[in-house]
C-alpha cells in the first residue's frame, strides 16, 4: 500500500492492460476477493455481496479505508476461529458451474463426492 502511495495518482489509475487494468483496480480486486470470501461466502451472506466500482475510489485515502475496513472484518472473524469452524463446509458454487463445497480451511471438493 505504501509503495503504491509513493506513486502519483495518474500512475495508479493508468491502464496497464492487465487483468484488472490499473494498479488501483488490481489492489481493489485483491481486497474484494478477501472481503467476499471471508465476510460473505464463509459468513453465508453471499446474497449481500455488492461489487464495488473502482471508479468510486479517487485517492489513496479511499483505497486505504477500503483495505482497513476489510482487514478489520477479517481480523474479527479470525479472532473467533475454532477447529470446528475450520472444518465447516461452505457452498462456493457459481452460476453455470457444477456445485462445489469448500471447507473453511481451504480444501475444495465437488459436492458429488
Tens-digit pLDDT profile for residues 35-81? 999 999 999 898 899 988 999 999 999 999 999 999 999 999 999 99
Do residues 64 and 72 lie in contact, with contact meaning Cβ atoms separated by under 8 Å? no
Phi, psi of 102 (to 5 degrees): -130, 135
Same domain? 67 vs 109: no
Which DSSP symbol is given to 106? Answer: S
Same domain? 110 vs 70: no
Q: For the chain, what percent of residues have pLDDT higher than 70?
A: 93
Same domain? 40 vs 94: no
Strand partners of residue 18: 21
Give how many domains the chain has, as a whole number: 2
Which DSSP symbol is given to 46? Answer: G
Reduced to 3 states (helix: H, G, I; strand: E, B; else coil), residue 83 is helix
Can you give the pTM of this predicted structure?
A: 0.83
Same domain? 65 vs 110: no
Same domain? 74 vs 102: no
Structural domain harbouring 112: 89-113
What CA–CA distance (Å, rounded) separates 38 from 35? 6
Amino acid at each position: 500500500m505504501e509503495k503504491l502511495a509513493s506513486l502519483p495518482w495518474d500512475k495508479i489509475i493508468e491502464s496497464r492492460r492487465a487483468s484488472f487494468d490499473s494498479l488501483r483496480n488490481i489492489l481493489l480486486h485483491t481486497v474484494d476477493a478477501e472481503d467476499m470470501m471471508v465476510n460473505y461466502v464463509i459468513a453465508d451472506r453471499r446474497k449481500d455481496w455488492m461489487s464495488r466500482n473502482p471508479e468510486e475510489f479517487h485517492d489513496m485515502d479511499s483505497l486505504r479505508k477500503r483495505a482497513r475496513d476489510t482487514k478489520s472484518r477479517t481480523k474479527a472473524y479470525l479472532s473467533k476461529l475454532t477447529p470446528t469452524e475450520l472444518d465447516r463446509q461452505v457452498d462456493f458454487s457459481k452460476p453455470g458451474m457444477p456445485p462445489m463445497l469448500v471447507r473453511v480451511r481451504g480444501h475444495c471438493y465437488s459436492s458429488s463426492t
